[in-house]
Homo-oligomer: A and B are copies of this chain.
Amino acid sequence: MVFLADGLAVRNFEQGPHITSRMGHGVHLEPLTLLSALAVHTERIGLAATASTSYTAPFHVARQFASLDHLGGGRAAWNLVTSVSVAEARNVGFDEHLPHAERYARAESYVDVVRKLWDSWSDDAFTADKAGGQYFDPQRVFPAGYRDEHFAVEGPLNIARSPQGHPVIVQAGSSAAGQKLAARTADVVFTAQPNLESAIAFRTGLRQQVEKAGRPADALKVLPGLMPVVGDTEEEAQRAFAELQGLIDPEVGMAMLSRLLGGVDLSGLSPDAPLPELGGSNAIQSRLELIRGIARSGRLTIRQTYTAIAGARGHHTVIGTPETVAGVMEQWFRAGGADGFIVLPALYPQHFEKFASQVVPILQERGLFRKEYAGSTLRSHLGIPRKEHFTSIDRQVA
């Protein structure tokens, strides 16, 4: 699938336009409109867009993802995020970013609202009975009728149930609250894991939680991020990586680190000072833990810390020949650290093309990557079943 990260603000803008202008990202087409355009120019690839549960009404999100799922014939995925910055809050009418616990409490309700809205109509609701003058069967519509302390949503959704039943739900929150939400509701988890050991521990723990939540462990696919830097030789790959690392602007590196630490002010410090003690914060909790781990293990300076995370933002980086990269992927997969990967090339289109043309064929040879599609929906590509409507499940049981 094509996976579009997103936020409701120009990234890092709160640190000043000067910094943002040196980062060169965060200003782009809006994901749902862009993927709708791509949906009608592609046939099989999954289409994953990010949308926030903190700053958009669930009706809009449920509706636009259902519409995207219709447009692409069943390939939509919603990457559910709770948003990360005060800048986003300030673009939609709040003075402060919602605290972490409140964001996740809200997200738990939000997913339930969206899933109820996606079940507003049974798959066979639209009878289009011209002779009888009936467009749908009034017995086959199920308004959400949702009301709790976070949301009041009557429904039904004003779009028919979509090809996948429910678009795929992706989550990237790897904190305890994020894992709890994912275990109950996600189909895919995108996670930053610095090494195989942590990846195995994360996936094993999450699968246990999935089972505790009453779902089969395989219902959720864990996809760690992977930044491949591929060269014809190990040396060439290392050179390419070093060249990229050399391009990291110290000001940008410090700003990025400060942001990943939830807005900790590093501006008065030298890049070569030791990383200061990290307190609690309203940042991405799991990323904060990861940086703590990096800093703790090696007693790094600020510069060493941002250098270690600036390229792949904390995701695992593999540098080497196509065989090396394919080998690491196979190792993670076979050892239970991953059900697959979100590939994060550092440079488009060059690094993506190298990966696609040189690494993928090796994975195919080893039987680890498909040679042709077995189905047409993203759920089929992921090996997870279509989400059937509760009335059709009732009928099957009866």
Contact = CB atoms under 8 A, between A and B. Distances in A.
A159 B28 contact: yes
Contacts of A16: 138
Interface in A24-48: 24-30, 32-34, 36-37, 39-41
A160 B71 contact: no
A38 to B, nearest CB: 8
Contacts of A57: 55-56, 92-93
A33 B36 contact: yes
A16 B27 CA distance: 44
A71 B34 contact: yes
B21 A134 contact: yes
Contacts of A153: 90-93
Given A8-B59, A27-B135, A133-B249, 12 more contacts: A8-B60, A17-B136, A23-B135, A27-B121, A30-B66, A36-B36, A40-B41, A87-B154, A90-B153, A90-B154, A92-B153, A93-B153
A27 B117 CA distance: 13
A144 B91 CA distance: 9
Nearest to A71: B37
A122 interface: no
B71 A158 contact: no
B13 A156 contact: yes
Interface in A122-179: 126, 133-138, 141, 143, 151-156, 158-160
A68 interface: yes
